[in-house]
Every structure is written in C-alpha cells, then in structure tokens.
Amino acid sequence: MASRYRIGQDPDYVPLGRRLLLLNWTLVLLLTILSCIGFAMLYSAANGSLQPWAERQMMRFVAGLVFMILIALTDVRIWLKMSYAAYVVSLILLVAVEIKGDIGMGAQRWINLGFFQLQPSELMKISLVLALARYFHGLTIEETGRIPLLIPPLLMVLAPAALVLRQPDLGTALLLIAGGGVIFWLAGVRMWKFGVILGGALAAIPIGWQFLRDYQKNRVLTFLNPENDPLGAGYHITQSKIALGSGGLFGKGFMLGSQSHLNFLPEKQTDFIFTMLGEEFGLVGGIALLLLYTLVIVYGYVIALRCANQFGRLVAIGITTTFFLYVFINIAMVMGLIPVVGVPLPLVSYGGTVMMTILVSFGLLMSISIHRDVRISRQGNDDGRH
Amino acid sequence: MWHRDSDRYRMFTRRAIMLGAGQGVLLTGLAARMYYLQVMERDRYATLADDNRISHRLLPPPRGIVTDRFGAPLAINRQNYHILIVREQSPDVRKTLTILSQVIEIAPETIDRVEEDVKRRRSFVPVTVRDNLTWDEVARVGVNAPDLPGIIIDAGRSRDYPEGPHLAHTLGYVAAVAEKDLTGDPLLELPGFRIGKSGIEKTYDMSLRGRAGTSQVEVNALGRVIRELDREEGESGETVVLTLDIELQRYANQRLSEYESAAAVVMDVYNGDVLAMSSHPTYDPNSFTNGISHKLWDSLINNEYAPLSNKAVNGTYAPGSTFKTCVALAALEAGVITPEQRFFCPGHLDLGNARFHCWKRGGHGWVNLHDSLKHSCDVYYYEVSQKLGIDKIAAMAKRMGLGDPTGIDLPSERGGLMPTREWKETQLGKRWQGGETLICSIGQGYVLATPLQLATMTARLASGRAVTPHLTRDHVAPDDITARSDTEFPDLGIPRQHLNYVRDGMNGVTNELRGTAYRSRIKIKGLEMAGKTGTSQVRRISMHERQTGVLKNEELPWKYRDHALFIAFAPVENPRYACAVVVEHGGSGSGVAAPIARDLLTRAQELKSSRPGVSAVNIQSASQILRTSSKKQES
C-alpha cells in the first residue's frame, strides 16, 4: 500500500515548499508568545534569574519547536496509519510504569530513558485522540449509532484512564476521558448515550470514592471547604486566591508579587504560575493571557472546520479540546473553582514533558492544516473519490 | 459515498460549534471569576496579602532608672553582651562551638543544648550560646571572627543594681514574666522581657516599663525577615527618684549587719520622706536579673533569718515599752492622769489571781509620767491602763499610725495589729479580759507593729502631724526633690502640751542620768535625740523561773531571746528625723537597739537630707548613665 504515496501517483501530495507556505505561521507565533510569557514568569519566579527554570524551559521550547515543525511537515496520512500502533505502544508503556510503580514506592509516572523522562500518560493523551479519530473515521454516521460498534472505542478510553487513575493521576485521567468523550460527541454519537454513561458514572462515584487515595479524598474535601484546613491542604487555594485578588486591576508589577516572592504561594513555577502572573500583572495581564489562549483555540476550530477528512477534523478538535482543558482546569483550579488537580498551564508552566506533548500535538494540528484538502476513504485509503 | 461523508461533516460542524460555544462560555466564566477576585474582592485580598507579608515586631523600651534623692543611680540598665549562633551561616555547628569554647569559656553541656536548640528552630533563627560576656571576651570573639562562621555578638540590656545588697528589699528586683503576669499586653510576651517582681520595681512597674516601639518588617512564608518597612521608636520608662539617701542607707546596712537579723527606718518627721530603710540580712538583687540558680534560691528560702523578707515593712513585732508613749498620750487625752500624778510601783501589780510584774524586781517606788517613761516603769502603765480601757488605748495607737498599713509605696506592706474588745470578740470569739489590757499597755500581748509603723509613730509624736511615710514623691520635679515639701500633713489634733509631756519623758530616757538609754545619748551639742527603749518578750516566763531567777538572754537559744527595740527623734529641739530600730532577738532595747538609733540619727543629721549642689545635674546624668561615661571622656 505504501506505493500509493509515491510522487506522481498521489493527487493529494503537497510538495515541501508548499507545505512550508501553508504552515500556519500565525499559530507558531502565538505559541511562541505564550512560551515567552512563560519564560518571563519563570524568570520572575526565580527572583530575577534565568536559573534554575527559565533557561532550561527555553532550550526545551526550541527543541520542541523544531520537533513540532517536523511533525507538521509530515503527511497527515502517515499519522493516520501510525495511530493504532502509537496507541498500543502507549498502552504497553502505561502498563510498564504501573508494574514498575508497584515495585517501587508510591506514584511513579515516568520511565527514565537516561536523557529524558518519558511519561507514558502524556504520550497516551495524543495516541488516544489519534486512535479514536482513526476508529470513527472508519464509521459511517449510521454505524456510529450502533451500540456494539461503540464498545471498542469505549474500552480504548477506559483502559488507559483506569491505568492512569491507579498511578494515581486524577488530572490526566479526567483529561483522557474528557478528550475521548469529545471525539465520541463530534463523531455523532447520540446525546442520550452520553446521558446513560454520565448517569452510570455518577452512580459509580460512591464506589469509586473508595478507590481514591487519602490525599485525593482530601483534595476534594478541601475544595468543598477550603477554610476548614487553612494551614494544610486548603492553604494552597487560599494563598492563591489572596495572591490573585491582591493583584487587582494592574498588578503589583513584574517581580514585585509579595505572595509569590515571599513564598506564600506554593508551586509558583508550575501549577500556580497563573496566580503569579495575576498577582504581578493584575486582571489586565490575566485577561490578556486568556485571550491568547482563546485565539489558539479558535485557530484549532478553524483548522478542524476547514479540514476535508473526518480523521483530521476529529484529531484537530481532540487536540484543541485537550489544550482547552489544560487551560481551563489549571486556571479554574488556581482561582478556587475546582479542586486542586495537578494540571499545568500549557506552555507557561515549567516542565519538559507537558511542553513536548503540547508542541507535538500542535505539530499534528498543523499537519492537518497543511493537508486539509486531502481526502481519505473510510478504509484509510486516499481513493475516496472513486 | 461522499454524500454520506457530508452527513458526517454537517453533524461534525453543528456539534463543533456547540462545543466551541460551550468552551467559550467556560472561558468567559474564568474571566468573570478573575474580575470577581481581582476587582470586586481586591481590597479584602490586598489586606490579607499585607497581613501575610507584614509582621509587627515590638521594640522593648529601656526600663526607667531609679535614683536616690540626690540622683545617685540605684537601678540602671547595663549593656549585656551575648553570643548567638545562626545555623544557616555555620556549616558545622558543633565544630564552630568547639572552636568557640577554645576562645571563651563554654560548658560542654551548653554545646549539646545549643545543638538541640538549633535543630528545633528554623535555620535562620539565632540561638543564644552564652549571656553576660565580659568586654574582654567580646574582644576575643571579635578577633577570632573569621574562624567562627555564624557566630553573632549581640548587645542587650539587663537590669543592674549598682548598690547590690544595700537596697535589695526596697528596690526589689526584675525577673522574667510568669504565666500569671500575662495581661494580654504583647510586650509581656517578648522573650527576655523583665518586669518588677517586688519592691519599688513592682510598685512603679508601669511607669518604669515605658512604651514599646514597633517595627514593621516584611517576612516570607517561613517567617524570615526580608527588610524593615517602618519603625516607630518607643519611649524609655520614667525615672523614679526615691527619697532615700544612699549614704545613710549604706551606713544603716553596715550598722545592722553586726546582728543576725534586724531592721531600721529613718524618716523625715515633717514630710514623710523615708531616708533609709534597712532590713538585715539581705541578698543581691542582681542575681535575679538573669535567672537565679536553684542552689542560691534554696539557700535564700531556707535561711533562718529570712533574707528575702523586708522586715522594715513585713516584720511585725510586739512594740514593747516603746508603746508606752501611745498609752501616755491616750491617758492624758482621756484625763485619767495628770503629768504629776504618781503611782506606787512595788515591782508588781495584782489583778484577781494574777500577778503582773515590772521589769525591775524591786520596783520603782513612786513614779510620775516623766519618770515612767524615763525608767520605763511597767506598773505605772498597768495602773493607767486599768483606768483607760483597751479601746481608748487602741484609738490613740491608730491615730499614731499603728494597726493599719502606713500606705508606703511598697507592695505587700503588713499592718501589724492593734487589738480592741470588738476585735477579740469577732476574731477570736472570746471576751476581752482585764489582764489583757495590762499586757497590751506595755506593748506586749496582741499588739504588733512593723518597724516602719514605729518610725511613723515617732515622726507623728515629734511633729504632731499625721505624717505618712513614702519612698517617692509624686508630682515633684526631680530638681525639687531636695527641697522641703510644702504640702504639710494635717495636724493630729493632740494638744501640744500633751505631746511635750511625752517628748520630755523621752528626753529623760536618753539625756538624763539614770534614763534607760542614757549611755546611748548623742553627745554632740545641738544633735541630741530623745527616744524610748523597748524590750519585747517572745516567751512566757513561768512562776518557777521567776522564783529561781529569770534566765539571762545570753543563756537562751537565739529564737527565745527578747527583741530589742528603740524609737527616737532628733534634734530634741525642733525635731527633724525619726528613727525606729528592731533587732530580732537582740536582747535589751537599751543595750542593742539604742546605740544603732544613736548612730543613725547622728549620721542623718551630719549628712543633712537637703544638702545642696547635687540635685539636677546628677539626676540627668544618672538617667543617661551609659552615655555620660563616654561623654565625660570626650569633654
């Protein structure tokens, strides 16, 4: 089958020069601006020093950017072909860390490759979107209405979610389920079926509660009543709200956030970096960042809606929604709207793995954008128009 | 087939728009929440953020100083150097301390204690290694500073009493705040803060404390101080000027120290200034400032002679024959005697079945008022008191200042006891017996008085006014303290003539041949004193002992010997000073107490409490005792 993509025989082939032209440079710029805001905040978090965070984050971004563009320039059909394989590999790695985690102590979420700590759950976030998109790409609208055909994709979501939840990583599990659910929804699965699943899930909460670790239970309880435990788990949320609120309209100024710099704010370089931004740049700074994220999300939707193939559309929405969920969960958490779950602010929070996941997924998004006119048959062939 | 795909596409588009709209709503929700926190609730959170970062620290004010009437420093603040260690600046605490112990003396237990302390505190919190360094030690540590990372020399203030034991009882001492002293004033919760625990330090604690300053500092989440934002200096405590004359005080202490246990008071008969107040044995109040050792405390507590007690105001003694002055005044006022009226003293008086003895076995023969005081005849007063009754005696004694606390500005003054019929019935539930009046008339039995009360009684006798004693004068500017007080005490309402009869009798005691204290008279012309002896029994003399011969004091154990008392004023003409001396179990008033009173009154008159030329300048220099020493070097 590989012979079908040979130059000259493929009517949808996009030459490299044209791919570079079609590459969504505005999106690249937006991502770069977001990352630069991150560098500035990490510089501030280190009290005016590139060490230990800002410099390493810059190096990761540059490496990730190159990687992103390479992925973007690759034909989307290659990603389609690789989607199931990627999913299987990710699942095996997840099981591997699970076994390793059982041997080791507590929550172990990564595999040490020496030069790089691979987090299979991050890999799974992309692989699951690809695999589900691949699956629904192959179904007609009628077929998506048939319950037996919905069982395999449901298992595809639940298997990694269960593994991640066992690690335990509530945040990632929720991201996987929400990201997967969105693809079900856009593929055309009926509304009432979601209702059944949701109802079942709600009924399972009391059972699932028993499987949560104590610290996870505490997080939920603390969220429900943060003042209950002002010096313990609720301390983070309380201090975060104080930092944000005291920032006011225009903030206290770059590197002048008292809550952040006097260490009242925990994890200011990772999960609570938005709080520091809000403290130092106020409502104006926070809204500006939110607008930048909104622009990126709008771009994702535009790419999805302009895409001619179902696979690309579903992947684009899956990636955009995952990105949205990162942004929403993180900001809602630091503002005390939802419980504390360990979800970073994409591109701004310090951390190599998440930055890599985001840039890789945007590479895929741009690949879809470049190859938006490629038509792909439900069987995964390019002969759809015949 | 593509028409089917267009179905999928339409479905996708519809749902994507719904999803996008949903996400848009959620993002708007975030913006709204941000607006709520950062605009609507901003002020509340700004306050909370400041509460987090700004910490108010109290700056303890320097304690006010205490001086004598001429400005001599009695209680001051001394620079106190101590050594601290900061863990985060010292790579190896144990090693640093070991090196330090080669430079200055440090006990091995201290090293262990500091190591423990350092581990329990945060790494930037200094831990005290040693207090009270000498200047020499400070210099040695300074020279070796490069080898002592993390070692800090800090200068604090500690209370110092330059006169040491001379004024222990009057000044009292300061010590760490105890649980029961906490009033909610945050100043009291400062580590190392000292408050007055007894004496003047306690009475005037509030004035001496001063007003605390505050320092606003920015702290981080661990409590480490980042910088000082604002500072408001406090005010040091007020200077308290005592009426005491330290020269006379020292002399009184020296004189009393010849006996096991004694107390003496010298005061001004007109304005009530206490010039000397001495209680022996004494202790060094400096040992309390930095925490007293258990061993020393136990030795003070268990000492038979009660060094911690200020016997001048807390010791109560039967006044003995010194009380006869009161009985005489009461009898004159009641008109039961005339000065020339005589009673016969055969050496005893029989009342019912009981026989009351005079101190002189053979008796005094015929005795009038003057002689009754001069010879201290007991039978005379037995006779007089029978005519008077206890209540009239008690009424006069109260007017003379006995039976109630004098109100001197010292904590826990005792009031002694002046019995009445009513007192006995309510307190003991028994009827007053006639014989008890006789016993009381010679200052024995239930009658109890403090040395300060006896001095007050003498001052009232000498001045005819209701003088009350005090150690400080309110509302007197420091430079006026040496001036005689214009505010005179009200007249006692006792006829001058009556007072003169008693004074005349007291003059007989000291200045006429065969007076009981003739040998202790002041021979210097113009300084003569008039006095009254008192020897109060502390045991009962049995009939058997009386027959076989009363044991001499020297033959008895210390505890059973008589108390020796003496009251006196001087000069005889136009009196100025009153004095009371009590020597516990000292023997006879004439032999032991009178010579002390003689010496104190002589010294008081020689020193002259209003001697000029020392007042204002000295008081000022005392209040800045630390600075003046350096200024003197400059000038």
Give the count of alpha carbons within 13 A of A105, CB side only.
0
Helix (H, G, I), strand (E, B) or coil at B77: strand
Position A113 confidence tier, pLDDT thresholds 50, 70, 90: low
Interchain contact B28–A (C-beta under 8 A): no
Tell whether the torsion through CA atoms of A256, A258, A264 and A265 is positive or negative.
negative
Interchain contact B221–A (C-beta under 8 A): yes
Return the pLDDT at A232: 60
CA distance B30 to chain A (A): 7
* pLDDT tens digit sequence for B275-319: 999 998 999 888 877 667 888 888 888 888 889 899 999 999 999
Lowest mean pLDDT among A32-36, B546-550, B573-577: B546-550
* A106 vs B548, residue with greater confidence: B548
Q: Which residues contact A102 (CB under 8 A, 6 or more apart)?
A: none
Which of B8, B40, B47, B124 is the best mutation test for A, with the most CBs of A within 10 A?
Answer: B8
DSSP lists the bridge partners of residue B213 as B59
CATH number at residue B392: 3.40.710.10
Interchain contact B40–A (C-beta under 8 A): no
Interchain contact B32–A (C-beta under 8 A): no
C-alpha angle A360/A362/A365, rounded to 5°? 120
Interchain contact B21–A (C-beta under 8 A): no
- Cα torsion at A21, A23, A25, A26 (round to 10°)? 120
Contact B48 A245 (CB under 8 A): yes
Q: Which residue of A has its CA nearest to B42?
A: A245
Contact A244 B218 (CB under 8 A): no
Lowest mean pLDDT among A100-104, B83-87, B351-355, B546-550: A100-104
Contact A310 B8 (CB under 8 A): yes
Q: Which among B29, B46, B222 has CB closest to A246?
A: B46
Assigned token pair, B580 = 């009371």
Domain with B329, as residue range(s), is 320-401+416-449
Q: Shortest CA distance to A90 belongs to which of A150, A176, A174, A187?
A: A176
**DSSP string for B536-589:** E--SPPPHHHHHH-PPPGGGS-GGGSPEEEEEEEE-SSS--EEEEEEETT---I
Q: What mean pLDDT is predicted for residues A145-166?
A: 90
- pTM equals 0.67
Q: Which among A247, A290, A377 has CB closest to B27?
A: A290
Q: Is the pLDDT of residue B617 over 50?
A: no
The complex's ipTM? 0.90
Lowest mean pLDDT among A62-66, A212-216, B139-143: A212-216
Q: Does B571 sit behind a cis peptide bond, omega within 30 degrees of 0 on the bond before it?
A: yes
Q: Which among A245, A310, A321 has CB closest to B45?
A: A245
Return the CA Rg of chain A.
Answer: 22
Q: Is residue B543 part of a domain?
A: no
Q: What mean pLDDT is predicted for residues B119-139?
A: 82
**DSSP string for B345-361:** E-SEEEETTEEEE-SST
Lowest mean pLDDT among A166-170, A364-368, B155-159, B240-244: A166-170
* A66 vs B177, residue with greater confidence: A66
Q: What mean pLDDT is predicted for residues B240-267?
A: 93
CA distance A205 to chain B (A): 24
Interchain contact A288–B (C-beta under 8 A): no
Q: Is B84 exposed, middle or buried (0-12, 13-18, 19+ CB in 10 A)?
A: middle
Annotated catalytic residue B372:
no
Q: Which residues contact B613 (CB under 8 A, 6 or more apart)?
A: none
Lowest mean pLDDT among B104-113, B202-211, B527-536: B104-113
Q: Is the pLDDT of residue A110 over 90?
A: no
Q: Considering chain A, what is the average pLDDT of its residues?
A: 86
Given B279, B321, B376, B588, the catalytic residue: B321
CA distance A38 to chain B (A): 19
CA distance B37 to chain A (A): 5
CA distance B57 to chain A (A): 18
Q: Which residues contact A2 (CB under 8 A, 6 or more apart)?
A: none
Q: Which among A182, A243, A298 has CB closest to B49?
A: A243
CA distance A71 to chain B (A): 25
**The total number of structural domains that make up chain B:** 1
Interchain contact A249–B (C-beta under 8 A): yes
Q: Which among A247, A287, A298 has CB closest to B31?
A: A287
Q: Is residue B181 part of a domain?
A: no
Which of B3, B10, B34, B39 is the best mutation test for A, with the most CBs of A within 10 A?
Answer: B34
Residue B404 main-chain phi, psi, to 5 deg: -135, 155
Which A residues 214-233 touch B at CB under 8 Å?
none
Number of cross-chain residue pairs from A and B with Cβ atoms under 8 Å apart? 145
Q: Considering chain B, what is the average pLDDT of its residues?
A: 86
The whole-angstrom separation of Cα B351 and Cα B34 is: 102
Position A102 confidence tier, pLDDT thresholds 50, 70, 90: low
Lowest mean pLDDT among A71-75, A107-111, B61-65: A107-111
Position B628 confidence tier, pLDDT thresholds 50, 70, 90: very low
Q: Which residues contact B491 (CB under 8 A, 6 or more apart)?
A: B464, B465, B466
